[in-house]
Structure 1
Amino acid sequence: MIEPIKMNPCPFCEGPPCIDGYDQMTGEMLCDDHPHDEGSDQLYEAYVHCHDCGANGPRIDSLTLGIFEHRYDLSLMDVMRIAVERWNDRHNKARNCYDAGEKEGLNIWPRAEA
């Protein structure tokens, strides 16, 4: 059994998150309980999106995870879990850059001439 993860609200509008999973080759939307055959080469893609404003989290796919992160033989549920984890973490990743820019007045538009 997979441990549940609470999805964070949208970082832009606080709207409710939704997750979709797909067969990466055909683009067909799949149910999260899609059976996984460990001997198959089926590739999956998943992403979380905001139901209200349509903001998307990063698209996570099993091919890229295999090439760059050496994670292989992932089920659709595995890929969806990673998509949720990245959705939940994405708004905090660059906060230190934003805060540094704030100190220098870089977060204002239009910026004053340097």
Structure 2
Amino acid sequence: MIEPIKMIPCPFCEGPPCLDGYDQMTGEMLPDEHPHDEDSDQSYEAYVNCHDCGAQGPRIDSLTLGIFEHRYDLSLMDVMRIAAERWNDRHNRARSCYDAGEKEGLNLFPRASS
């Protein structure tokens, strides 16, 4: 059995996360228990989105995972798990960029004229 992951709430509105998986070629939504055929070339895509505000985590797909991370023969559940992990892994990585922009007045709209 796969170890469950507790997904964190939306970072914007604290809404509940929803995880969906798709056939990457057809765009058809697939059930979580979609059977995996190792002889098939089927590719999958999954992402987490907020039920309330619609914020979306990164789109994770099996083709990109194969090309850039050398992870092959992934089932839909594998791709959905990675999407859930990446939803939970978001943090203030870019906070220093925001703070630097704040010092220069770049976080205002409209920006002051130069």
State whether residues 11 and 91 of structure 1, in contact with CA within 8 Å, keep that contact through their aligned partners in structure 2.
no
Partner of 2:10: 10
Partner of 2:61: 61
Percentage of matched positions with identical amino acids: 87
Displacement of 1:31 after TM fit?
A: 1.3
Matched position secondary structure for 1:12: coil
Matched position secondary structure for 1:49: strand
- Which segments of 5 or more consecutive residues in structure 2 lack a partner in the other structure? none
State whether residues 22 and 29 of structure 1, in contact with CA within 8 Å, keep that contact through their aligned partners in structure 2.
yes
2: CA distance between counterparts of 1:109 and 1:58?
A: 26
Displacement of 1:32 after TM fit?
A: 1.2
Residue by residue over 1:16-73, the C-alpha shift from the partner in whole angstroms, topping out at 9 and shown as x without a partner, is 1100001112222111121112222111010101101111111111011111211111
Q: How large is the Cα RMSD of the aligned pairs?
A: 1.6
Displacement of 1:91 after TM fit?
A: 4.1
1: CA distance between counterparts of 2:52 and 2:112?
A: 34
Query: Which residue identity is paired with 1:112?
Result: A
Partner of 1:33: 33
Query: Which residue identity is paired with 1:42?
Result: Q
Q: Runs ≥4 in structure 1, deviation > 6 angstroms?
A: none
Normalising by structure 2, we get a TM-score of 0.88
Query: Which residue identity is paired with 1:102?
Result: E
- Which segments of 5 or more consecutive residues in structure 1 lack a partner in the other structure? none
Aligned length: 114
